Amino acid sequence: MNAPLTVEKANLSPKDFATDQEVRWCPGCGDYAILKAVQKTLADIGAQPATTVFVSGIGCAARFPYYVETFGFHTIHGRAPAVATGVKLANPELDVWVVGGDGDMLSIGGNHLMHALRRNVDLNILLFNNEIYGLTKGQYSPTSRVGTRSPSTPKGSIDRPLSALNMALGIGARFVARAIDTQQKALPGILEAAWRHKGASLVEIIQNCIVYNDEAFAAFTERSVEADAQVHVVHGQPLIFGKERDKRLKRSENGYGLEVAPLGEGDPLIHDQTDRVLAGMLAALEPPMPVAVGILLDDPAETSWERAVRAQDAAERRPDADLGAVMRRGATWTA
Amino acid sequence: MALARPDESDERRLTKRAARETAVVRFAGDSGDGMQLTGAHFTLATAVSGSDLATFPDFPAEIRAPVGTTYGVSAFQINFGARRIKTIGDRPDVLVALNPAALKVNLDDLADGAILLLDSGAFSERNLKKAGYVSDPRADGSLDRLRVVEMDMSALTKEALAGTGLTSREQLRCKNFFALGVVLWMFDRSRQPTIDWLKKKFADRPELAEANIMALDAGHTVAETAELQRMPAFEVGPAPMPQGLYRTVTGHEALSFGLVDGALKAGLPLVFCSYPITPASTLLHDLARLKQFDVTTFQAEDEIAAVAAAIGAAYAGSLGVTSSSGPGIALKGEAIGLAVATELPLVIVNSQRAGPSTGMPTKTEQSDLYQAVFGRNGDTPVVVLAARSPADCFEVAREAVRLAVHHMTPVILLTDGFLANASEPWLVPDIDAVPDFPVRFATADSGPFRPFERDARGVRPWARPGTPGLHHRIGGIEKQAGTGNISYDPANHQAMTDARWNKVLAVADEIPEQTVDQGDDEGALAIVGWGSTHGAISRAVTTQRARGHAVSHVHLRHIWPLPRNLGALLRRFDHVLVPEMNKGQLVTILRSEYLIDAKGLSKVTGKPFTIAELEDRIEAVLSPTLVMEKSA
């Protein structure tokens, strides 16, 4: 087994996490903002380039590792969570980040995302959701809304989109968050929380594709509407929002959903990031309801999967085990 | 009633036994009859007596087939002898059939005069009907060509176990040990190893141990007392075996030991990632029981995740191994390409089975050779090895590890459903006789780290995450030579494609030259085989050589790259014949590599070649008149 690595905090700046490679996303792509936030997060948490690994699949987002001055592995379409699982299995001491888009992680790689979350592998999974296939030139994706016109759906898409966060919650994920590419103040904090969470963390980052799906999220990300169209959830804080901070979320009459009510009449609902049911209700909010942003669920298990696997194996390990003796065990005879 | 066990030395004196050089016994019954266990114990007794042997289990694909049906028949075959045994035997000399279905399925395999030992108690009208018999084969003359020994094993077992307190059903479950007792007597084998095993196995339930031992003894006694009338008795002596400590081993057991030995010698933790598939799964099971070593096993969510996780583990500095059968290897293809592109070590085991598609999962074939050598997008060279026998799986697995980690390349190891499950005596090797081959990981040097800088053999460094100063990026996109940065430069792609290709070809510098397994290194005919056909080819060549034919046997372990001298060697023969359990895959490669007129011999029935089939073809090739007659 690899020796435990030094976990000394590195004193590096965000710039130290930039590589010498030219960043080749389209001008104005939301990925630039995410890259910046990730590099800041790495500096904030004192990440060591030597013990940090970025694993990605295929797609625009998956170019990410080339731009982060750590270990990086640009793998194949959809398989990043599976490769990352192997990395953690071999060396649980590494900090492993997984980066991919909605096509990569929810379509071709949906199965691996599902099982990484189910097993609770200690991975920080960043899902860049732009509701479109960018690198293959604009086809609709599993998160595209019904009616999306694209080269493959000229009359509009028919498939219903999936909610990445509700899917993750259904699978049993224990850290589920949503962030927005342009929110540079909030994003590093959410990423840091994902990193602190021991176990699988899924952060859906709403990301604008300026070329193929521009303004897809304008209804809740435009400066002029965002205060009324988003609710920022903070553990232990009331679920209130609005330009005037005058609206609150409350449980609907039948108890199964959330409704908007004016602040002042009745106690506001308090966010509890360990409440899976509340997280599910928040994750499901779509315009015209306010879109929930922040850490919806952060309820760590006692241990993460790879540590449990290693612990079980360690109990069976015999440093003095002799393969020759094992091969000679059982029914033998001498000629 | 408890039967006294007669003194075995007395018994030997009293019985006149026909000496035989070899014998093939097949135990057949319903899936629930315990035929595999019976076969395993007959094997143990035979092994302990010093005869050489080879075994193969043939069990149904159905987990719980309806009782008494032909598709629920489970069989176990053993070939043993006073000479070296190379195959499981073409045709059984003795068939033990515990129900009509077992008889029906296996009858055609019996040569005239073979011994058929029947449990007449199981030949009820109902069971005959279930097996699809319209008339009782015992009465309609269809068994006349055989030497039939009928015995009501069901009733005799129950009789022996009356008074044990076991229910009638429980008593009948001991029938297989009754049958074992009969056959042990027939070949003068000791019951003691089985008795010891039963006592250990049922230490918590001594009444069950006792009941099975009683059934075993009863079968033995009944056989002995029936002797004067009709019970055949044989003597098969010990074989000349190299001295040392032996055990029986299946291909997958040996393979699991070989992988662990390879990991130990490389100084690496073993991370084995797999997804269940027949007949590959037993390798996962075997390795899951070797956790006293630095072994981690991972049952992934699918075949792709299994290979991807193995690649991730290799990237992180462990020995990554994945395993499957043809359909699963097809799914892994893209990821194997990633390991080729990123030049990471990876061992991929393919336990081949009959294809295409689902094919016949429990039946053997060698039809994934093209897939192993060519089956990926792009120019994607990998090293391909093939094991020839259950015991050989040990060495080949260790060699696969060595080549993977020292050449930074995926290695595909081909076995098949036959090798995986077949067993043979194994002279347990001294693992210390082979030197360690420790891996040297890259460490921080002066200057920026260059992950695709090659050494003299064309091999790049292996840099583990966690190593200070070595952080770098790799991926499936074409990389610039040296730096590993993304590159679409035309000349660079040519250079990198050539480098990957030549690196794998250069493995031929570090593998042994091809030797001739049997016969001279020139002559009339070379039989070139690979994989599990070794035994049948070897025996056929021995026989033909004894008849004065200039036949030689060349058996390949290294499928890609091929041994340096192979082309020159094969050109020294007038004819080259390549028997394969496929439509002619190795033969195509040999023809294209060496421009020689090699001919194929194809068999895809799901069953191994018989010696007779190979001998027929050898004679046809060597006898021009016969060839002319056949083609006329």
CA-CA distances (angstroms) from residue B604 to B354, B367, B607, B609, B612? Answer: 8, 9, 7, 9, 16
Cα torsion B420, B425, B431, B437 to 10°: value is: -30
Please tell me the pTM assigned to this model. 0.94
Q: Which residues of B touch A74 (CB under 8 A)?
A: 473-477
The pLDDT score that the predictor gives to residue B121 is 95
| Angle, CA of B326, B328 and B332, to the nearest 5° | 110
- Tokens coding A27: 């001008």
C-alpha dihedral sign at B520, B526, B532, B538 = negative
Homologous superfamily assigned to A14-216+302-328: Thiamin diphosphate (ThDP)-binding fold, Pyr/PP domains (3.40.50.970)
Chain A residue nearest residue B253, CA to CA: A327
How is residue A239 annotated by DSSP?
-
Q: pLDDT tens for residues A114-151?
A: 999 999 999 999 999 999 999 999 999 999 999 999 99
Tell me what the mean pLDDT of segment B361-372 comes to: 95
pLDDT band, residue B376 (cuts 50/70/90): very high
Q: How many Å separate Cα A215 from the centre of its chain?
A: 22
Q: What SS3 string covers B38-100?
A: HHHHHHHHHHHCCCEEEEEEECCCCCCCCCCCHHHEEEEEEEEECCCCCCCCCCCCEEEECCH
Tell me what the mean pLDDT of segment B181-201 comes to: 95
pLDDT band, residue B228 (cuts 50/70/90): low
Distance from CA of A2 to the nearest CA of B (A): 8
Distance from CA of A237 to the nearest CA of B (A): 39
C-alpha dihedral sign at A118, A123, A124, A125 = negative
In B227-348, which residue ranges form alpha helices assigned H by DSSP?
Answer: 251-266, 281-288, 303-315, 326-342
pLDDT band, residue A266 (cuts 50/70/90): confident
CB contact under 8 A, B304 and A328: no
Separation between Cα atoms, residue B614 and residue B387, nearest integer Å: 20
Separation between Cα atoms, residue B415 and residue B366, nearest integer Å: 8
Note whether A94 contacts B: Cβ–Cβ < 8 A.
yes
- Tokens coding B345: 């070590």
Q: Where are the domains of chain A?
A: 14-216+302-328
Interface test with A, best of B377, B471, B478, B485 (most A CBs within 10 A): B471
In percent, the amount of chain B with pLDDT more than 90 equals 91
- Does the predicted interface ipTM exceed a cut of 0.95? yes
CB contacts < 8 A (A, B): 215
CB contact under 8 A, A87 and B292: no
Separation between Cα atoms, residue B161 and residue B138, nearest integer Å: 28
pLDDT band, residue A3 (cuts 50/70/90): very low
The pLDDT score that the predictor gives to residue B494 is 98
Query: Which is nearest to B394 in space by CA: B366, B423, B372?
Result: B423
CB contact under 8 A, A333 and B257: no
Tell me what the mean pLDDT of segment A103-111 comes to: 98
Identify which of A89, A111, A331 has the shortest CB distance to residue B298: A89
Separation between Cα atoms, residue B83 and residue B97, nearest integer Å: 27
Chain A residue nearest residue B341, CA to CA: A75
Note whether A254 contacts B: Cβ–Cβ < 8 A.
no
pLDDT band, residue B227 (cuts 50/70/90): low
